[in-house]
Amino acid sequence: MARPSAYSQAAPADPSPLRLPASADGRFRNAAPPRRMGWRKGLRVMLRMALGKPPGTVPDRPVPVQALTREALLSAPDMSLWRLGHSTVLLKLQGGFWLTDPVFAERASPVPFAGPRRFHAPPIAIDELPPIRGVVLSHDHYDHLDRAAVLALAPKVDQFIAPLGVGDRLVGWGVPADKVRQFDWWQGTTFAGVRLVCTPAQHFSGRSLSDGNRTLWASWVLIAGGTRVFFSGDSGYFDGFRAIGERYGPFDLTLMETGAYNTDWPDVHMQPEQSLQAHLDVRGGRCLPIHNGTFDLSFHGWTEPFERIAALAAARGVPLLTPTMGERVDIRFPTATQPWWREEAAATASAPAAAA
């Protein structure tokens, strides 16, 4: 059973009805079990994912990226943010750099020759990154936990901050134990001037057919001085968002999952309407939608998450940030960002006519 280990540094867990205790076989469970599709439907979904994708789920050309350099990062002001792709975000807080769910691999897959392929290169290579104060991990799925990236980052990272069990996985891969801290929900720590709290999410975990739910999944609260950022990780919509908002809101910025949704898995990923409601539940100010624009993980068009959340946010008066990959955002005083995906989609659509 996953439990705090000698290298965990956490306060006692705050009892929560949002997750049942790990069962006798060491598996974590959501308080509300996700609906199961059954093996027949599951097989149909897998075949459709492999052979029946509709057009438009992948762009015809790489999406635009603003290349980053180490010098640009070091000279950037504090409270800056850069989206590097999918759920990988680089933040500069209290003079140090923090990474969420670092995935730099070509594919979000257990093998290098198959699985969802990146739409774009990372804006910066791992070797070029400056020293990293902390890496914040939400769970262990391949599109959030990149083993090669973790091992390449380890020499330049002070601390990996993870949910229960994910820290054990890192140590098993060879990350020094003194660089790993892992937490249950509502536990946390303060490191390098940043307060981090592991908060609930409704999801699941596992990297093989035999290790399902043996590690915990989570969202995170990051507090740096007077600035508060919420990182959703992956989650279905549930009442945990309201509980987080009551305890730690309001937030200056939410990094909110908006992508890879489908009606066949409604309890573990959010439709854009739910993503916006989750932002409101946690008492978010500005919203930056993540979990989109890098990998093809569902059946919706690759631009659909952006379009739907943009329309919803405009209707509710929620300030939305959609930076180009690698574009700097000022967390406290951001300037307007552009709908870059529309230009790319238009270029893709006009390419055959131009060629003709």
pLDDT in the model for residue 193 = 97
**DSSP state for residue 324 in the 8-state scheme:** P
pLDDT digits (tens, 9 = 90+) for 260-294: 999 888 999 999 999 999 999 999 999 999 999 99
Is the confidence at residue 353, as pLDDT, over 80?
Answer: no
Arithmetic mean of pLDDT, 227-239: 98
pLDDT in the model for residue 50 = 73
Segments making up each domain of the chain, as ranges: 64-348
| CB-based contact 22:1 (threshold 8 Å) | yes
Arithmetic mean of pLDDT, 59-81: 96
Task: Please state the separation of Cα 124 from the chain's center in Å.
Answer: 18
pLDDT digits (tens, 9 = 90+) for 28-49: 999 887 777 766 766 676 777 7
Strand pairing class (157-163; 132-136): parallel
The residue count for the chain: 356
pLDDT in the model for residue 117 = 95
pLDDT digits (tens, 9 = 90+) for 298-319: 999 999 999 999 999 999 999 9
In the Cβ-directed half-sphere of 288, how many Cα atoms lie within 13 Å? 33
DSSP string, 127-161: GGS--EEEEE-----TTT--HHHHHHHGGGEEEEE
Answer yes or no: CATH 3.60.15.10 is held by domain 64-348.
yes
pLDDT in the model for residue 21 = 64
pLDDT in the model for residue 4 = 38
What residues contact residue 340 under an 8 Å CB cut-off, 6+ apart? 63, 64, 322, 324
- In percent, how much of the chain has pLDDT > 90? 79
pLDDT in the model for residue 36 = 74
pLDDT in the model for residue 345 = 62
Arithmetic mean of pLDDT, 183-203: 97
Arithmetic mean of pLDDT, 226-241: 97
pLDDT in the model for residue 45 = 67
Which residue is it, tokens 């867990």?
A: 13
Q: Which amino acid is at 174?
A: G
Averaged confidence pLDDT in the chain: 90
pLDDT digits (tens, 9 = 90+) for 104-162: 999 999 998 989 999 999 999 999 999 999 999 999 999 999 999 999 999 999 999 99
| CB-based contact 293:302 (threshold 8 Å) | yes
| CB-based contact 339:322 (threshold 8 Å) | yes
Is the confidence at residue 2, as pLDDT, over 50?
Answer: no
**DSSP state for residue 14 in the 8-state scheme:** P
